[in-house]
Structure 1
Amino acid sequence: MSSEAPDAPDVPADEVEPVRIEDEMEQSYIDYAMSVIVGRALPDARDGLKPVQRRILYAMDEMGVTSRSGHRKSSSIVGDTMGNYHPHGDSAIYDALARMAQDFSLRYPLVDGQGNFGSVDGDPPAAMRYTEARMAPIAEELLADIDKDTVDFAPNYDDRLTEPAVLPAAIPNLLVNGASGIAVGMSTNIPPHNLGEVIDAAIHVIDHPGCSVAELLDTPDSDGYVKGPDFPTGAKIVNREGLWDAYTEGRGRLRVRAEMETEYDETGGDRIVVTELPYQQNKARRIERIADDVGEGKIEGIRDIRDESDRNGVRIVVECKRGANADVVRNQLLEHHLENTFSVISLALVDDQPRILNLKELLEAFVEHRREVVRRRSQFELDEAEDRAHILEGRLTALDNVERVVELVRDSEDRDAAMAGLREAYDLSEAQAEHIVRMQLGSLTSMEAGEIEAEYRDVQDEIERLETILNDESELLDVIKDELEAVKASYDDERRTGIVEDAGAVTREDLIAEEEVVVAVSEDDYVKRMSLSEFDPQHRGGKGIIGSRPKSGDRVSTVFTASTHDYLLCFTNQGQVYRLKVFELPEMGRTARGTSAVNIVDLDDGEEITAVVNTDDIGEGYFAMATRNGYVKRTEVSAFENVHSGGIRALTLESDDSLVDVEVTDDDGDLLVGTREGMTIRFSGADARPMGRSARGVNGIDLRDGDRVAGLVAAAADDDRHLLTVTKNGYGKRTPLSEYRRQSRYGKGLIDIKTDERNGPVCSINAVSEGDGLVIMSESGQIMRTHVGEVSTVGRNTKGVVVMRLDDDDRVAGVDVVPDEGRDDGLEADDETEAVGGSDGEAGPGDE
């Protein structure tokens, strides 16, 4: 016998179809992708289950492991599921089983687990041989009536058994427990929801099929039903815009924030207690990362962190350092660790095709499924009821003719003959005849007859009810609603996740403690900020303390106070305006020089900040600007709404002119312009008509030869404040604003202060109230903090008193007012005036 293989049969060439390999690979990949999508990764929109979850629950039902039975070893459940329905490995099945038992993963767990099924710390479940499980009561609602032909069955993987293609699902499980899965080229991430809210929304869809998604949402603008996701771990959702997108478009991004509260610690520091974590956060890993960031200095103000969680819930205690701002620590925790984003992708299978669904479409898919289930169940029950009525009719016929029936059966040769005789004599069906023949003699009593008649009437009523359901759509829908209400009554509970108004994402300023600071700028454009609390108030005439050490040849040019959370408009001598965030300025010690301002504000060579306006002080008014050469201009605040990083033009300057000061005013207010030689003019702000940003302005004061403008003040017509004038040599005085009478614009003004050799030229003028504080800085970097009450009130045309004592070669660089600071330091105002009297009249030609 030859060992050679037989020749391969010849194949006609016309039966070979050439295929491009890339086309074959594409089609094969699509087939594989759809297999994964439909068979493993995505939930069905009807019952909200993936195939593995559905098979586990069905296997448990077949095993009798219901909520009323004892717990069964998880390995037994996994084995039955894998052997009969899901041949994809025991680890995948057990992972799915464990997740359905986790009360921190599912809002309403479908499996009642006994043993270690994992934790929020990321601990894995114990091995399946150690844990036990049974169905949770709510899971039985998914399988209710599965034996009544409510759903289609398909052969299992080896055609030995059949399995349900979908479960009857009396609860809207897809929304209630959510779903997550990664398929090929797509993924789903549906958050869990509150059962009662979803059922109420489903009933509304039944009653109002034409409703919009907006009608289903419970928002501040509408009274709907679904407030938002309801995570099993609680926490808070902080952006409603993301909710709107998620429910109307099927996609959205939600910010979920931990629930925290601040407690007072008897040791002196505050304590932040975290009681709820965002969904699917690993608690142990989160605590570890917080501790790492504290150690690396990324998070400041934390002394200790510990986990005090137990079976009753989460409790993470963060101990703040003494003196640390608990709000800042809280915001740092939110930015880095305790707030995350949940991306909603409502992708589910509809007719075995993946679709992104909005809220109404998700509910419609469930309602349509329940309509089909109730219809098929009603038909199944109707068929059973009609079969039973048919049998009862035969029994009633036998009871009506009991003597003849007994005689006929007794005289028949065998059972078949008796059945044939009964069918012929009384026109019975084969089933009726067989039932009569099998009847026991005791069922022929009058009591039994009455029970059969009563049962027949009940069966007829049931048939009528079922036919009504099948023939009347409204009755069928009423059944669905009644069953949903019953489920809600059994399993509904309170919401766990709160919805709060969006306060915006945590920003950089949220991570900076809000405090008053002193900002110093030098002529060479070095800038820094220091806490105002570092400078204790002093009596006037003090030297202050070191606030800056400018480099050789440099000197302080500007000083102002602000809050770290303030946004400022900084006007420069060259007529530009920049927007500045105070917290972006470098915080340095008193002896530090500062950082070059070009890293923060794009200043040109020779450009200096000469005026600062806090945006919190800006309303619907005007910026009044004064230049060194005496020009004044008013421009509407609205013209400065969009100040980009490179700055914008505030006014046009002549080549030898510069911007000196800026104030916020209105149509009814007055403007006071003060000069370096001590002259001050007051005129109505309306005299300087509003102009655009590119305008130069109008003449405000007629300057003497060699004189220059020193500052600008905005005042109301009946302003009861004082004008504080401080000179370069550290002298100053307060004079009521009422002593400066209104004049016409472009006059020479009145003498405000004598600027002799002792006083030196005027450095600044400011409108002040009795409770204000003062920060004065010298060109060498000395800072003195005092109160307005320390500066005596005197008339015009006087020399004033010593406000800050300076070294021989030092001069005052700037003065800033701290509004409403009060006098809580115990200092008493000094009544010494050291004033020198003078004329109170208007200055004229040659007046010295």
Structure 2
Amino acid sequence: MIEEDITPIAIEDKMKESYLNYSLSVIIGRALPDVRDGLKPVHRRILYATQDLGLSADKPHKKSARIVGEVLGKYHPHGDAAVYDAMVRMAQNFNQRYTLIDGHGNFGSIDGDSAAAMRYTEARLTELAQEILGDIKKETVDFVDNFDGNLQEPTVLPARVPNLLVNGSSGIAVGMSTDIPPHNLSETISALIHLLHNPDSSLEELMEHLPGPDFPTGAQIIGDEEIKKAYRTGKGRIILRAKTEIEKVSSSKKRIIISEIPYQLNKAKLIEEMATVVKKEKVENIVDIRDESDQEGLRVVIELKSKANPEIVLNRLYKYTSLQSSYRINLLALVDQKPQTMGLKTILQHFLDFRREVITRRSTFELNQAKKRQHTLKGIQTALDSLDKVISVIRNSPSAKQAQKNLQEEIGVSAQQAKAILNMKLQRLVSLEREKIEAEAAELKKKIERLTSILEQRQVMNKLITKELREIKAEYGDHRKTEIIADGSKAELDESDLIKDEDIVLSLSYHKYLKRSNDRDKLRASKDDYITHIFSGTTRDDLLFFTNQGQVHILNTHQIPEHHGLSTGDPLSDFLKLPLDEKIVGVLLLSEEIKNKYISIVTKKGRVKKSLAREYETTISSLKAIKLNQDDEVIDVKITDGNQKFLLGTKQGQTIHFEEGEISATGRNTKGVKGIDLAKNDEVIAFNLTKPQDFVVAISADGRGKRSKLEAYTTQNRNGKGLQTLSSDKYELIQVITAAENDQLLLVNSEGELQKINVAEITLTKRIGSMYSQLQSSNTKLEKAIKLPK
């Protein structure tokens, strides 16, 4: 029996070792780019294999399947789909800021369409890719065995282009990931040159040359503070926003045009997303979304309803869709085969160090070649100076090998020089050829001096690095595509941020026509209508519409289109969609000044409640204003300041006059307290704020009225039965209203007819005097009486 040497190993240790090996393989061999050439192994192998096939930018394209096969068979023993997908991304101008593969055929689209199968498409290198591969045959980088040891492949490409920053990179490794955004080539090179000549440059100085990422799809970056943070620490998050413009279709209609979208955003999915939020009514006033993109560029058209505010629509789209989205920055790459998170300056410095290494190795290679050639030319010159002797030695030698040895001995040349002399053509014996050899020797001498100075003098090296970088910039540089908006506060989406703050005047008529103007004198109603409310405010204020059901509906004033001239405004129904069981009983303007006051509410069952107006400040369109009992409803609302007097009037002619201070402020969704003790079958019909000079006007349903001085309505404590304002219980009141003598009232009868009367025309009586004044000529029942604004 053969004895086996068994070493016990804990399974935890074996698992740790195996997982660590796997992690390192993923980190180094697949997921993370190298800080020097900015490439992952698969991309590096694709470029190298494509060059091996001779597919330079000036050669015809070759089938993608041929390139993929070359990569798989020689360097990358993984799935063909993975290799082809990587190659496709290198050819997509919406994924790569500067493409490295020149694709021919269907290589996908920004709508998320997949590329055609590799057997249908063709590819070759771009000119910029050739700059990344340039000088690779001059021993500028190390080579290692491929997976089967039959070939060698480069560990890194020489890269004249700062590809890591220029094209960026993203990848998920084990326990870490990288997200490096693309940058503008011209700006990146400017920053590199500045750092090369100013090694102590601050981040702020570098950002004067390289202000931030530059995405292939353009769009906008909102705020530069996160860019600075990412460049300083290696980590950050920036806000990307689509680039839009507003087109005027007609005097009352506009449309939104989207011309650029955030990086890595699928256009088709974005349009679908916008359609979804419109369907869910998160975004209003959109009637159609069309994709009019073509070969000239991206164009998505958003058609708006007539008189819609495009800024508001845009702001909601930014808030609820990917039209504005965030991009995570994590500047993680391999440095000496180890993952490292770096700031901008460190990445730039690594590239400069790599360029210095490449140029050193290239110059050393070229210097050795030049010296070798110089040595050969010296031997040829020696032979030409002793031509007869050379011919004699060669003629008398029995073999080429002996001739080489004899030349070394007779004319004093090296083996290399003797071999060159033997290989020399007879035509070089003519005088013209002698001159060419001398000229070549002189050029070689200069070249050797230049290469030596590059290797020995850092200043000369820096000058060469600068020259080569400027050549790349001049050949391939372009203008920035992504606009950077320095004000980061614009990323915080608030509708008011997009609204110009201006003074406005609003009017609401009895027939519910709403008009916005910049001049009070331009407010007007139609022939058979009257203005019942006038508000002065700004475009940042809100209109609050209180209903009998205790709800308040909120309308932003900037949503109301401005009208001039003879226009009477727009129907309120264009802006508010009220439930069938609700009717408006009060309208208030919530301005900054009003927010520090109170909103007081009275119900028909005599309850009174007040809350701070600031509690009605919200971004939603509807709120509960009061908690109502089942058989109760709101009859009116007022803005109060805590120091006013309330006068409530009832249908049966009772009034109560009390101090506002008797009412404590409570939360918005509360019931309030009793303001008046009602008799059976009575209900409150009026809520007034009184002034000493006011009259109290009582109006009955049969069209009669009277007015009395306010002093007759002495103040009492709330929740009393109050004072009578009628001499007889045969009248049913529709309104008890406080008004000055020069005020006007609007009477509305059951047939909807409107009649305006002056308060001064109504008979002045005692508090419980008779209803002397006949306010209307017809016998039609009156339903409302409204005090008109002055």
Question: Residues 103-153 of structure 1: CA distance to partner in whole angstroms, max 9, x if unpaired?
Answer: 110010001110000000100000000000000000000000000000000
Counterpart residue type for residue 173 of structure 2: A
Q: Which residue of 2 aligns with 1:309?
A: 293
Identity %: 41
- Within-5 A mapping of 1:46-61: 46-61=36-51
Q: 1:386 to 1:726 in 2, by over 3 A?
A: farther
Q: Which residue of 2 aligns with 1:146?
A: 136
CA contact (8 A) 2:367 2:448 kept: yes
Q: 1:309 to 1:471 in 2, by over 3 A?
A: same
SS for the counterpart of 2:360 is helix
Give the one of 11, 22, 29 matched to 2:4.
11
Whether 1:204 aligns to 2:204 is no
Shift of 1:576: 8.2
Q: 1:190 to 1:453 in 2, by over 3 A?
A: same
- Within-5 A mapping of 1:151-170: 151-170=141-160
Shift of 1:236: 0.6
Counterpart residue type for residue 492 of structure 2: A
Q: 1:781 to 1:100 in 2, by over 3 A?
A: farther
Q: Which residue of 1 aligns with 2:494?
A: 507
CA distance in 1, matches of 2:33, 2:477: 23
SS for the counterpart of 2:709 is coil
Give the one of 697, 700, 709 matched to 1:756.
709
Give the one of 340, 355, 365 matched to 1:370.
355
Shift of 1:595: 2.2
Question: Residues 397-448 of structure 1: CA distance to partner in whole angstroms, max 9, x if unpaired?
Answer: 1111112222222222222222222211232110001111221222111111
Shift of 1:21: 1.2
CA contact (8 A) 1:398 1:436 kept: yes
Q: Which residue of 2 aligns with 1:355?
A: 340
Question: Residues 78-122 of structure 1: CA distance to partner in whole angstroms, max 9, x if unpaired?
Answer: 000100000101100100111100011001000111000000010
Q: Which residue of 1 aligns with 2:235?
A: 251
Q: Which residue of 2 aligns with 1:480?
A: 465
- Within-5 A mapping of 1:577-588: 579-580=614-615, 582-584=617-619, 586-587=621-622
SS for the counterpart of 1:306 is strand
Question: Residues 344-380 of structure 1: CA distance to partner in whole angstroms, max 9, x if unpaired?
Answer: 1111111111111111111111111111100000000
Give the one of 250, 256, 260 matched to 2:244.
260
- Of 466-475 and 576-585, deviating more is 576-585
Shift of 1:293: 2.6
Whether 1:381 aligns to 2:366 is yes
Whether 1:453 aligns to 2:427 is no
CA distance in 1, matches of 2:481, 2:61: 29
Whether 1:569 aligns to 2:559 is no
Count how many residue pairs are aligned between Structure 1 and Structure 2: 633
Q: Which residue of 2 aligns with 1:120?
A: 110
Q: 1:726 to 1:140 in 2, by over 3 A?
A: farther
Q: 1:802 to 1:118 in 2, by over 3 A?
A: same
CA distance in 2, matches of 1:567, 1:656: 21
Counterpart residue type for residue 177 of structure 2: S
Q: Which residue of 1 aligns with 2:414?
A: 429
- Of 355-364 and 135-144, deviating more is 355-364
Shift of 1:173: 0.2
SS for the counterpart of 1:83 is helix
Q: Which residue of 2 aligns with 1:519?
A: 544
What 5-or-longer segments of structure 2 have no aligned partner?
Answer: 501-538, 565-571, 601-608, 629-635, 646-658, 667-687, 700-706, 716-732, 750-755, 765-790
- Within-5 A mapping of 1:233-632: 233-266=217-250, 268-337=252-321, 338-500=323-485, 501-502=487-488, 503-507=490-494, 517-519=542-544, 527-529=552-554, 560-562=588-590, 568-571=595-598, 579-580=614-615, 582-584=617-619, 586-587=621-622, 595-597=624-626, 627=643
SS for the counterpart of 1:98 is helix
Shift of 1:518: 3.7
Counterpart residue type for residue 370 of structure 1: R
Question: Residues 458-512 of structure 1: CA distance to partner in whole angstroms, max 9, x if unpaired?
Answer: 1011111111111111211211111000000000011111011331322366799
CA contact (8 A) 2:246 2:310 kept: yes
Counterpart residue type for residue 389 of structure 1: Q
Q: Which residue of 2 aligns with 1:801?
A: 742
Question: Residues 254-291 of structure 1: CA distance to partner in whole angstroms, max 9, x if unpaired?
Answer: 11111111112249531111111111111112112222
Shift of 1:245: 1.6
Shift of 1:160: 0.4
CA contact (8 A) 1:42 1:183 kept: yes
CA contact (8 A) 2:745 2:759 kept: no
Question: Residues 769-828 of structure 1: CA distance to partner in whole angstroms, max 9, x if unpaired?
Answer: xxxxxxxxxxx99999xxxxxx9xxxxxx95323435799xxxxxxxxxxxxxxxxxxxx
Q: Which residue of 2 aligns with 1:97?
A: 87
SS for the counterpart of 1:341 is strand
Q: 1:658 to 1:351 in 2, by over 3 A?
A: same
SS for the counterpart of 2:491 is coil
Whether 1:65 aligns to 2:55 is yes
SS for the counterpart of 1:118 is coil
What 5-or-longer segments of structure 1 have no aligned partner?
Answer: 1-6, 218-223, 538-544, 588-593, 600-607, 613-624, 630-652, 661-708, 713-723, 732-753, 763-779, 785-790, 792-797, 809-828, 838-848
Give the one of 204, 211, 214 matched to 1:214.
204
Whether 1:38 aligns to 2:28 is yes
CA distance in 2, matches of 1:150, 1:439: 32
Q: 1:531 to 1:401 in 2, by over 3 A?
A: closer
SS for the counterpart of 1:248 is helix
Shift of 1:196: 0.3
CA distance in 2, matches of 1:109, 1:228: 20
SS for the counterpart of 1:579 is helix
Whether 1:24 aligns to 2:17 is no
Counterpart residue type for residue 35 of structure 1: S
Q: 1:586 to 1:147 in 2, by over 3 A?
A: closer
CA contact (8 A) 1:571 1:611 kept: yes
Q: Which residue of 2 aligns with 1:615?
A: none
Q: 1:454 to 1:300 in 2, by over 3 A?
A: same
CA contact (8 A) 1:729 1:806 kept: no
Q: 1:432 to 1:465 in 2, by over 3 A?
A: same
Question: Residues 146-167 of structure 1: CA distance to partner in whole angstroms, max 9, x if unpaired?
Answer: 0000000000000000000000
CA contact (8 A) 1:509 1:583 kept: no
Q: Which residue of 1 aligns with 2:175?
A: 185
CA distance in 1, matches of 2:347, 2:620: 51
CA distance in 1, matches of 2:54, 2:22: 35
- Within-5 A mapping of 1:703-742: 729=697
CA distance in 2, matches of 1:584, 1:511: 15
Q: TM-score of the superposition, structure 2-length normalised?
A: 0.72
